Structure 1
Amino acid sequence: MPRGDLDAPEPLGNDPSGYGWKVLRERTPKLITEVRDRHPYGPEQRRALDALREEIASGPMRPLGEDAPDRARWDRWGAAYFDRPWADAPFLWWESYFYRRLLGAVGFFTPGPWYWVDPFEYWKAAELRDATVAVPAAEERQALLLASLWGNQADLGFLFGAAGDLDASGGLVADDGALVWSALDAGGPHHVGVVADNAGRELLADLLLIDHLLRTGLAVTVTLHLKPHPYYVSDATTADLVACLRRLAAADGEAAAVERRLSEAIGGGRLRLRAHAFSCAPWSYHRMPADLAEEFGGHTLTIMKGDLNYRRLVGDRAWPATTPFAEVTAYFPGPVAALRTLKSDVVTGVDAATLSSLDASGGDWRTGGTHGLIQARL
């Protein structure tokens, strides 16, 4: 039966053996310190960042300030969690709220010198400068799909908590890639949605995949869903898309041609950009508003990129890993595929033999960023 009732428990941040505890106790303080030290913020921003770090460590979760433009909305969303320890809130909820609070601390939403200045742009720009732009041949379409998947390793928030370099040595724990291509090859016309995750190298790989879909006629339109403002360090906004297009244009050969085709597709309405406010909400897609559900329902296929979108798609819950992906996504309004590098505990759709082998390996295959998946419910 469909798992629309979300009957598995939500991970919190109060289990010292859990991944959420590690993120709360290690990654978030480190990120606050890095943001503080990498910018010439004044005393007000520095005090606010220090206070946020102290609140997460030892104080109860506080609501947004009185002057926050979205205070009323977050007051409703956080009524069950405010004035309690951060660790007592669901992992997905408090992690989303953390990034909203960080933006508030640096004055992102307040008219003034730091208004709408992305506090994560420093890392995004550095990562994009270092990115190598290589365009696979047209017939190597599986390489494009895998590049889009493994590009998800370039998660700057993850890197704040990771040790050493990432690699893809673990391979795929589930691979529905052939099903995805078969669905795109059949029928039509296809209107594909791509829900972006990270900026930089991952978004570059996503753009190469989108160009392939449009250029080969596998899709007559592609809708690229971006974030309306900075979120989770490296999540892609429209500004990040523009930066990637400029990076492609500055490269030699076919990469520059990709930029020209994509820019023309945007101008002609074949590549459509969306930045819905729900993209930065602390909820799974089970709670998406009607207008977003209608848009997803109009896609022939929606491709969800990355770890956070996967958590939101299946519900950030402690599903048994063998729970069928099709069951937990049955509520979603249309065919959907997930391309994800595993960087958190939640996973579904792993067959029993594969699961047994992975668990016996003794590695952190769920959270280490070395394993990936392609899953589809068509």
Structure 2
Amino acid sequence: MSSSNPSSTTEGECAAAKAADEAFAATGNPLPNLPIPPPLLSTTPGSWAYDTMSRRVDEEILQRTYEENEEEFQSPDFAEALSNMEALRNELRNAANTKLRHLLPLTEEQAKDPERVEEWQQWYDIMNPYVEAGDTWLTAPWMVTEFFVYRRFMEALGYFDPSNAATCMWDPFLKAKRAGLDTSFASAENLMEKVEALPNTKEGVELAAAFALWGNKMDLSIWPADAANSDVDVFSDVLAAAEKNLLHDDLITLASYCETLREEGGGVIDIIVDNAGFELVTDLALADHLVASGVAREVRFQLKSHPTFVSDALEKDLLETVETYAKLDASTYPFAKKAGERWKSYLENNQWTCHENSFWVQGAAMWEMPSKLRTNLKENCNLAFVKGDANYRRLLGDRYWDYTAPFQDVVGAYFPCPVCALRTLKAEVGCGMEKDQVERASSLDDNWLVN
């Protein structure tokens, strides 16, 4: 397979997306250094994007969400939400022919909330090119529609509507997220024992970042029994085992930069969070080490402002995770409990802070970041960790970049602060890879881009 991402796979261009790109370029805001390729669409049968928007969201995600919350949906308080949800599902069942629409106008009560007004206007601006062009759920860019369908689901439920106390701020994915949390303890106990023993060195940062990337897929069988007194070469062996499936690795550069932050008294580090459950625990473990080792004087968790993608983490998910771990049985999970107690103290002392922002749940490229958020990152953040596949896709605008396009030219050129992306491949989007690595991955697995 060629190391390029051939244009023959791009399904053609979306005229509205091209016009939106041109309009944004005219604003003078920072962009990638390279010509921006067309976005992924959902128009090709057999593609992951097509399957997601024409089948998976309805048949798997929304159906499972209904089944997990059937008691609630059958109650009188949820009658309107259920009807609205069914209408949304009908749109998706006919995704190829259903034209996109804007969010419904805000109610009089909602319009009194500046945050709601701002968020509604942001979505209006994102969707307007595609609504005006008559695009459907499949012909508009996949990133736009995939995020928008969750915002439409929140609209259907009345998530932001204070007139119905039962559905307002009700998380339809909470049961699924709690199930993930409840099954995380054993893996977390194993992980936190290792994190507690990490050295306050460059190798410690490398290992903590590797944990956050791989989670429980890392091979810890070669971890030394007495880690605190082990030679650094043993930690190198653990890292080497984790690196065999890496397509791009800047851990050494990352560790050197973090060492500089430590020497300067610690920096402000943001973690742009992806999922709740065990993945969130690995984010907390990374943040734990960054603070404990002196690399960070503050870690800011950037979290979603409403439920999305089923497992994505809100502030309340993070706080519940910390509280749950702090209350674990010390005789069963001693290291995980101790970690939870540390995490709680970090929050109480403002060494950890939580920040929800509507931008993190919107179908826009990260170079389209609102000026207020961009300025905050530029002026206050020394390093941002961007977690997960969906966030990575947004870093790249969900575009068909050449896989060997330098990360610095695609992302570093516009991102407002130093950035480290931690991502395992789940979609056909990528950059920064060496040609031989792409060829190696392709030869080992035909589905290397999505599994």
Alignment counterpart, residue 38 of structure 1, candidates 59, 64, 68: 68
* 1:262 corresponds to 2:353: no
1:122 equivalent among 175, 179, 184: 175
Q: How does 1:242-321 map to 2 (within 5 A)?
A: 242-251=319-328, 252=330, 253-297=334-378, 298-321=380-403
* Matches of 2:34 and 2:168, distance apart in 1: 40
Partner of 1:86: 137
Match of 1:346 among 400, 424, 429: 429
Q: Residue 258 of structure 2 is aligned with which of 154, 173, 184?
A: 184
Secondary structure in 1 matching 2:394: helix
Amino acid at match of 1:138: L
> Does the C-alpha gap of structure 1 residues 361 and 120 become closer, same or farther in structure 2, counting only changes over 3 Å?
same
Comparing 277-286 with 63-72, greater Cα deviation is found at: 63-72
Task: Give the corresponding residue for 2:87.
Answer: 51
| Counterpart position of 1:373 | none
Aligned pairs for 1:1-378 (under 5 A) are 3-4=32-33, 7-29=36-58, 30-39=60-69, 40-41=72-73, 42-58=78-94, 59-67=98-106, 69=110, 71-82=120-131, 83-111=134-162, 112=164, 113-131=166-184, 132=186, 133-134=188-189, 135=192, 136=194, 137-139=197-199, 141-151=205-215, 171-186=245-260, 187-188=263-264, 189-251=266-328, 252=330, 253-297=334-378, 298-329=380-411, 330-368=413-451
Alpha-carbon distance in 1 for matches of 2:397, 2:130: 19
The residue type equivalent to 1:60 in the other structure is K
Give the match's secondary structure for 2:271: strand
Write out per-residue CA displacement over residues 82-123 of structure 1, whole angstroms, 9 at most, x where no aligned residue.
Answer: 343210111110011000011111221222111101011010
| Cα pair 2:123 2:362 within 8 Å, conserved | no
What is the aligned-residue RMSD (CA, Å)? 2.3
Distance 1:355 1:119, change over 3 A: same
Structure 1 residue 207: Cα displacement: 0.5
The change in CA–CA distance for 1:152 and 1:52 in structure 2 (over 3 A counts) is farther
1:158 maps to what in 2?
none
Kept in 1, the 8 Å contact 2:393–2:429? The answer is yes
Checking the alignment, whether the CA contact within 8 Å between 2:323 and 2:344 is kept in structure 1 is no
Structure-1 separation of matches of 2:247 and 2:440: 10
Q: Which residue of 1 aligns with 2:14?
A: none
Deviation of the 1:4 alpha carbon: 4.4
Question: Distance in 2 between the 1:291 and 1:46 partners?
Answer: 36
C-alpha distance after superposition, 1:191-226 (max 9, x if no partner): 211111111111111111111111111111111111
Does the residue aligned with 1:345 lie in a helix, a strand or coil? coil
Q: Structure 1: which amino acid aligns with 2:161?
A: T
CA separation in 1, counterparts of 2:81 and 2:337? 40
Structure 1 residues 278 and 71: alpha-carbon distance in aligned structure 2, compared to 1, 3 A threshold: closer
Query: Once the two structures are aligned, what percentage of the paired residues are identical?
Result: 29
Whole-Å separation in 2 of the counterparts to 1:222 and 1:333: 17
More helix by share: 2
Partners of 1:222 and 1:66 in 2: how far apart? 37
Give the alignment's TM-score, normalised by structure 1. 0.87
SS at match of 1:174: coil
1:172 counterpart SS class? coil
Aligned residues of 1:36 and 1:49 also touching (Cα < 8 A): no
Do the aligned partners of residues 328 and 80 (structure 1) sit closer, same or farther apart at CA in structure 2, a change above 3 Å counting?
Answer: same
Q: CA deviation at 1:71?
A: 4.6
Rounded to whole Å, the distance in 1 between the matches of 2:62 and 2:308 is 14
Gaps spanning 5+ residues in structure 2: where?
1-30, 111-118, 218-241
8 Å CA contact 2:126–2:364 kept in 1: the answer is no
Gaps in structure 1 of 5+ consecutive residues? 154-167, 369-378
- 2:212 counterpart SS class: helix
Report what 1:376 is aligned to: none
Find the aligned partners of 1:75 and 1:326 in 2 and give their Cα distance.
31
- What is the CA-CA distance between 1:169 and the residue it aligns to? 11
Are the structure 2 counterparts of residues 57 and 5 from structure 1 closer, same or farther at C-alpha, using a change threshold of 3 Å?
farther
1:6 is displaced (CA, Å) by 5.2
CA–CA separation in structure 2 for the residues paired with 1:221 and 1:264: 13
CA shift digits 1:250-283 (9 cap, x unpaired)? 3332322222222222222221221122112221
Task: Give the length in aligned residue pairs.
Answer: 354
Q: Aligned partners of 2:154 and 2:449: how far apart in 1? A: 29
Letter paired with 1:171: N
TM-score by length of 2: 0.74
Which residue identity does 2:214 align to in structure 1? Answer: W
CA distance in 1, matches of 2:414, 2:302: 20
Match of 2:221 in 1: none
